[in-house]
Structure 1
């Protein structure tokens, strides 16, 4: 019998999209080994600040989160990369043996990029807005002490991670990381064009010429989409293979199933 889990996510959270796209391509490659019930969290309107979410799901108040019973998961998984590694135990196609080390290295580099910095570069008030949302809930004298402590912890998380991410120096650092990473992908795609994919035909649909998307593909495609959606398409200048690769992926059934015609950023951002 397939095991059942709950994925807490948001439609416009880039890390949520990465995990959901990973699940979609994994299920496409193989029959479902696990059943994942999806539970949306409305982070645009404070859903991540609810007492249930902060006290029962994720004290950091972020998405995505994968939860299961104690026998399935000793603790909830609160990072997209660790969720992906867990999924790979069920779906080995996410980490093909021949490329596993390279995929892990590149995924680590991709997740070392601060997506918040690249997304809200021109909206520095976003960090303050997040703090103010917590203060509004804290202003209610009727909330429990347990909930108040959880909100105060969430406030510390915001102050430690969000405002510092939007300094000029930090943004420049993340831009350079992203550009260097995309250059690596461009080189990989160029190399795959001279080889053969696993079906023996020339060229490649996915980065390593595999017939199915790997975990790297599943995380990279949303990242490229985010860059385009926030007006950073110029970062793809000179990287024609990367853009063509992403455009092909955006036309797949799995991507369309996950995105349902949405962009990777909430409507009011645009």
Structure 2
């Protein structure tokens, strides 16, 4: 009989991080999807009374992990992954039981416990079936059905859905690249783009007309080839003038000069206007992230 042991950690050593990343990497290749993980960040003020990570070993082999992130004092995000060869053997259940008990014992009463489940979206289906006017209420092609079934049994339900959308700078597939003409002459663009680096990974991009702030976003650099856009916004009083598309085109033109392969962003599936805007600028839906909450 296999024996499972859940190891709790308040701090992740380099060895722990290697174990988690190895599990994540193997699962992503097997499942053809991406798994989120929180490995701790000194720049984030944590209010956690819980361990940062739960590692599950089976017969002296690490088989799964769960990491904990407090997005606020009242909201907890849980990120978990189990190696394909060890699924349907109670590992996910064992880890989640430990977390649930620790939440109770710590006297934590969160408003929401979120559990994101990533679903890979077939690119050909996306390109054929998604139009700028219609977005699906649900997409599913997930290898995580067992986790979803288990969460449902624990009274978790879908709270909201996000799409991960990607823009590829040098794709040989013209359909999946930029039908948006993002690299056309922007001489008619009324916006001026200003950038400011916070550190080697994070930069702020803002759009202006003279001294009038129009909008902006943050850019996070994962590595030399991949970036992420987050907190993209246009001031509410400035909307309806096409500034959203102009701003994205300015960003894409600026980033293209540095030979990046891809830039990604997340958007709520309920935000149809934003989904349409991003698709109109050449972004494609690659994943659906279903946030289950308790």
TM norm structure 1: 0.25
Q: Which has the higher strand share?
A: 2
- Whose RCO is larger (CA < 8 A, sep 6+)? 1
